[in-house]
Amino acid sequence: MLKIILLCIAGFVAAFVDSIAGGGGLITVPAYLLAGLKPSFVLGTNKFGAACGSFTSSLKFAKSGKVNFKLLGFLVPFTLIGAVIGVNVVLNINEAVLNILVLVMIMFIGIYSMFSKTLGVENKFKGLNNKNIFLGIILALLLGFYDGFFGPGTGSFLIFGLIGIFGYDFVHAVGNARILNFISNITSLILFAINGRIFYTYAIPVSIFMILGARLGTKVALNKGSKLIKPIFVVMSLAVAGKMLFGLIS
């Protein structure tokens, strides 16, 4: 019982942070491992709660008007396709090499965001065109694939990519990223469920608290705006990078 209570607390905090700036898996994955869950079940069980949390925050962001549904009409199908491929494909790249590449990229994102005074502060979105739609599709496909088979930092990459490609501020970038993240989460979840990789005894109660955390986090993000999101985004990006670096050297 104590394990479930601690997991629910971790899930609440993770969903709160994740709905603001991504990186919730940094909290829940280690929590599931500490609870004694087999590694083969950790990702599937984590996706259950993550899907519930991202669905909750997606709804709230959508209702707030911070989501561009025309843009998502182009990107969502490719996120779904990428996630399906990511869960099913046997990777040809060495996992150690992949870890290093992701570590370098996410450290760059965190450090660049920290020192850039203008990144994501103002909404500079000027509409859709062939170029940014194409780049957005590539972003959605790659990160759907990445989230399907690996996952750490997906939210950070999505937010950074949407700001860079479309000129969004952090609030609009997070809103659109949450829906894309939900698509990859629910797609991966279905495949994990089909393959029997979810421990529902933990997944169901934790998901309830993740829904509550996501609701509160989204409310805070919408009320406080980019000035709050940016520092949390930087901290979570560097925290994910730090965890990955520790995993490489330990």
pLDDT in tens, 184-223: 999 989 988 998 989 999 999 999 999 999 999 999 999 9
Measure Cα distances from 28 to 15, 18, 48, 234 in Å: 9, 11, 11, 19
Q: Are 41 and 189 in contact (CB under 8 A)?
A: no
User: Is 121 a residue whose pLDDT tops 70?
Assistant: yes
Closest CA to 196 of 35, 43, 33: 43
CA 112 to CA 66: how far, in whole Å? 24
Summarize pLDDT for 48-62 with one digit per residue, the tens.
999 999 999 999 999
Q: How many domains does the chain have?
A: 1
Which burial class, exposed, middle or buried, applies to 157 when counting CB atoms under 10 A from its CB (0-12, 13-18, 19+)?
buried
pLDDT in tens, 96-106: 666 677 678 78
Q: Residues 134-152: pLDDT tens digits?
A: 999 999 999 998 888 777 6
- Cα–Cα distance measured from residue 63 to residue 132, given in angstroms and rounded to the nearest whole number: 24
Domain that holds residue 207: 2-249
Neighbours of 86 (CB within 10 A): 24
Q: Which residue in 170, 202, 169, 203 sits closest to 185, CA to CA? A: 203
Q: What is the pLDDT, as a whole number, of residue 192?
A: 87
Scanning the chain, the segments in alpha helix (DSSP H) are 2-21, 25-34, 39-64, 69-88, 95-115, 130-149, 154-166, 170-194, 200-224, 226-249
What is the pTM assigned to this prediction?
0.87
